[in-house]
A and B are shown apart, each in its own frame.
Chain A
Amino acid sequence: MANLKTVSKKSKAQSMGMHTEVLTGRTQQKFFNPDEAENFYYFGTYDVDFNKRTELDVKDMTAPEANKEIDNLMSQGYGTIVIKNPQGKHSLGVGILNKLNLIFEGSLGYFGMGSCDGPIVRINGRVGWSCAENLMAGKVVIEKNAGSCFGAAIRGGDLICKGSVGARTGIDMKGGTIIIGGDAGAFTGFMMQRGRIIILGDVGINLGDSMYDGTIFVGGEIGSYGSDAVDAELTKSDQDWLKRKLKVAEIGENFDVSKMKKIVAGKKLWNYDNLEPTEKKGAI
């Protein structure tokens, strides 16, 4: 088993100071007391106040400059930041791991709000491809339409598009909820593993193709089902949850959720069982 204590020669990465921790084995055990002081924020994040508000005009800034400035404002305790003139810039608002109320007055380009964990975001325009990719927690609301790969690989949080979205919405999602007020394109929920997608309008072909787990609710017409996507019974619990979630999303107040279709994985593609012995044999 690797033990860096006994290794005298430092690797290039270590000599550059990139490794400071001592690895004594392949796994780590950490102990903590669940009764320690109540804390609701990640260690080392900024203590911001929602009532402290400021504006940031990013017209003449590049995306990295704008993102750094957002971070700088959070470090000063601003909890509500209004971004003026985003002008469709790509990768705006990425990597925010803080409690924050962020408002974009305009549209975003590709990969807006990617890899975020915690903020409440409102975009008063459209968004390009892969909006809120890898979202971990928080709430992102888009007032107009969104491009393809909306909410790709999200793990948690609520992602809401009041308009329509492109193809492959929720591709590879591993948790969280995606809510679409309008229509959704082809391959919605492609390879999804967990989480929930709600579409109030129609959806294109191959819905839930190769989905491993998770749930898709559709209010309109379905173009076609993907491989291993099957219908399931809509329960009372589902209906209660849908009503509550649509209220959170600020859409579909009068929508009759009892007529929605529920789609889940047929689990016929769960064939790891058969593959594993061959893989093991190859490894040995």
Chain B
Amino acid sequence: MPKKKNKKAVKTKEIKGQLGKKKETAREKMIGQSIGYRYDVNLLPDYSKLTPFLKKYIEAMGWDDLNWLEDVHMGYEDDRPAVFCRNANGWVTIPKSIKLPNNQQDRDMIARELLVKFQMSPKHPLVDLKKAYLKF
């Protein structure tokens, strides 16, 4: 008589709020798209977690706080952490070399810093568009 194998259920530890780990609904699986946001878009920034780069940016612009960056959060694209660039209308994926902390506040600060660097870079897509279409 064959022995019964005791299969141990492998439990994957799901961390709350971890990127790409949200369980998809049946409807999302069917249409292959996510519905709604997978991170808290209304999360207010924790200013104690400002990075030195962001502090310098705020000072350079003469603002009192993060201003437009308050609405920037880290999301993901194709299961890779990414931040949405509204100027390019596309996602900026986070390099694998950057280790992401396990809470949204810290991740959002990294996303903000990266987004500013990308938008101000001469390699931003708008630079090419500006050269091609600038009217005045």
Contact = CB atoms under 8 A, between A and B. Distances in A.
Given A99-B61, A99-B62, A101-B62, A19 B132 contact: yes
Nearest to A232: B42
A42 B119 contact: yes
B9 interface: no
B24 interface: no
B19 to A, nearest CB: 18
B94 to A, nearest CB: 9
Nearest to A265: B42
A114 interface: no
B78 to A, nearest CB: 12
Interface string A133-153: 000111100000000000000
Given A31-B123, A158-B67, A237-B44, A276 B31 contact: yes
B117 interface: yes
B10 interface: no
Contacts of A50: 62
Candidate in B31, B64, B114 with the most chain A CB atoms within 10 angstroms: B64
Candidate in A42, A176, A272, A276 with the most chain B CB atoms within 10 angstroms: A42
Interface of B: 27, 31, 35-37, 41-42, 44, 47, 53, 56-57, 60-65, 67-71, 86, 88, 90, 95, 98, 114, 116-133
A38 B56 contact: yes
Contact of B61 (A118, A175, A245): A118
A40 B60 contact: yes
Interface string A89-103: 000000000010100
B116 A36 contact: no
Contact of A248 (B36, B61, B65): B65
Given A32-B117, A273-B35, 11 more contacts: A20-B132, A32-B123, A42-B119, A43-B126, A99-B61, A120-B62, A138-B68, A175-B68, A241-B44, A267-B36, A273-B27
A245 B90 CA distance: 30
Contacts of A32: 117-118, 121, 123-124
A53 to B, nearest CB: 14
29 contacts: A18-B133, A21-B128, A21-B129, A28-B90, A32-B118, A32-B121, A34-B118, A40-B57, A40-B60, A41-B60, A43-B121, A43-B124, A44-B127, A136-B86, A139-B63, A155-B68, A155-B71, A156-B67, A156-B69, A156-B71, A176-B68, A194-B41, A213-B42, A214-B42, A244-B65, A247-B64, A273-B35, A276-B31, A277-B31
A5 interface: no
A107 B56 CA distance: 33
Interface residues of A, number: 53
A130 interface: no
Contacts of A155: 68, 71, 86
B35 A34 contact: no
Contacts of B53: 38
A59 B98 CA distance: 54
A137 to B, nearest CB: 4
Given A18-B132, A18-B133, A36-B117, A248 B64 contact: yes
A103 to B, nearest CB: 13
A157 B44 contact: no
A34 B95 CA distance: 9
